[in-house]
């Protein structure tokens, strides 16, 4: 049986932070440092769209910023809220997590920075939805504030790859996790990427503790579309980068600004 990624009881929720920690595009919290560089003064207000388990939001809150993280996956949000409980008392009030759809979001707050991290924008299934989201984001920005979108590039999603497996060993329990990314399915007309990912968690004796087969779906888009939709939403395009560092990568990092 195949479920959707990040759904109830999905192992992708339980092990999201683990997989994010080994993703080359996020190495050494490169994305968090990049976002933080746009927050020029303490206690600025940040909206994170697709906050997941709170990896980015909590890191920014620890640095003293006030962060609202929204996501439509309640299982992911539950894990984020559990992590917040471990924060120092002085930082507990800096972050909150809310369940919202990014297309219809309407908060009574305006922000110094909106971030849309780690392929969240690729979950939107078409040009119209993406355009509506940009318009929604623009309404939540203060003048001269920015939106940063970390997206998957079309070339990366369309790349043909064989099945891949990665094994994670947990020294404290001698358990292990096997994650298998099966062959991708591409729909060129719909610009849709689909991949089944299998998670298997084994006990120290080799018995299976849990397993899940999950369907991951992304839609790709190009720079021209993003730029035109941003313009219609009243946003200025500042730059497009291919990595969070100085090296050339295969990501898409769009920096948009709301004018006066």
Which domains, from first to last, does the chain contain?
15-154+221-257 (3.40.50.150), 156-218 (2.20.25)
Q: Is 48 exposed, middle or buried (0-12, 13-18, 19+ CB in 10 A)?
A: buried
Could you give the CA distance from residue 102 to residue 121 in angstroms, rounded to a whole number? 9
pLDDT tens-digit series, residues 163-196: 999 999 999 999 999 999 999 999 999 999 999 9
Quick one: pLDDT at residue 152? 97
Statement: residue 160 has pLDDT above 90: no
47 close to 70: Cβ distance less than 8 angstroms? yes
Statement: residue 38 has pLDDT above 90: yes
Quick one: pLDDT at residue 149? 98
Residue 19: CB atoms within 10 Å:
16
1 close to 66: Cβ distance less than 8 angstroms? no
State the Cα angle at 82 between 76 and 86, rounded to 5°: 140
Residue 236: CB atoms within 10 Å:
13
249 close to 144: Cβ distance less than 8 angstroms? no
Cα–Cα distances (Å) from 44 to 39, 86, 129, 166, 228, in that order, read 7, 22, 28, 39, 29
Quick one: pLDDT at residue 107? 98
| pLDDT bracket for residue 39 (50, 70, 90) | very high
pLDDT tens-digit series, residues 40-80: 898 999 999 999 999 999 999 999 999 999 999 999 999 99
Could you give the CA distance from residue 73 to residue 70 in angstroms, rounded to a whole number? 9
Quick one: pLDDT at residue 1? 87
61 close to 48: Cβ distance less than 8 angstroms? no
Query: Residue 226: helix, strand or coil by DSSP?
Result: helix
**Strand ranges, E, within 84-125:** 95-99, 111-116
pLDDT tens-digit series, residues 104-125: 999 999 999 999 999 999 999 9
Average pLDDT of span 148-168? 96
**Residue of 131, 153, 150 whose CA lies nearest to 235:** 131
Residues forming beta bridges with residue 15, ordered by sequence position? none
Answering whether pTM is above 0.85, one says yes
Average pLDDT of span 18-39? 94
């Amino acid at each position: 049986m195949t479920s959707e990624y990040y759904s109830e009881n999905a192992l992708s929720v339980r092990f999201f932070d683990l997989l994010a920690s080994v993703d080359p595009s996020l190495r050494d919290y490169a994305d968090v440092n990049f976002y933080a560089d746009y927050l020029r003064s303490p206690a600025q207000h940040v909206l994170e769209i697709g906050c997941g388990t709170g990896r980015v939001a909590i890191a920014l809150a620890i640095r003293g910023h006030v962060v609202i993280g929204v996501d439509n996956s309640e299982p992911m949000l539950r894990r984020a809220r559990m992590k917040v409980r471990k924060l120092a008392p002085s930082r507990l009030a800096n972050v909150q997590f809310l369940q919202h759809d990014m297309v219809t979001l309407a908060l009574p707050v305006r922000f110094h920075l909106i971030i849309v991290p780690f392929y969240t924008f690729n979950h939107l299934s078409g040009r119209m939805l993406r355009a509506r989201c940009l318009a929604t984001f623009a309404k939540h920005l203060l003048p001269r504030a920015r939106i940063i979108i970390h997206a998957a590039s079309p070339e990366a999603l369309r790349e043909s790859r064989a099945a891949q497996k990665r094994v994670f060993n947990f020294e404290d329990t001698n358990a292990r996790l096997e994650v298998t990314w099966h062959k991708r399915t591409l729909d060129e007309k719909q610009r849709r990427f689909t991949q089944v990912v299998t998670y298997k968690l084994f006990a120290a004796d080799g018995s299976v503790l849990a397993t899940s087969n999950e369907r991951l779906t992304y839609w790709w888009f190009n720079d021209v579309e993003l730029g035109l939709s941003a313009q219609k939403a009243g946003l200025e395009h500042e730059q497009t980068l291919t990595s969070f560092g100085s090296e050339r990568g295969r990501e898409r990092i769009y920096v948009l600004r709301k004018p006066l």
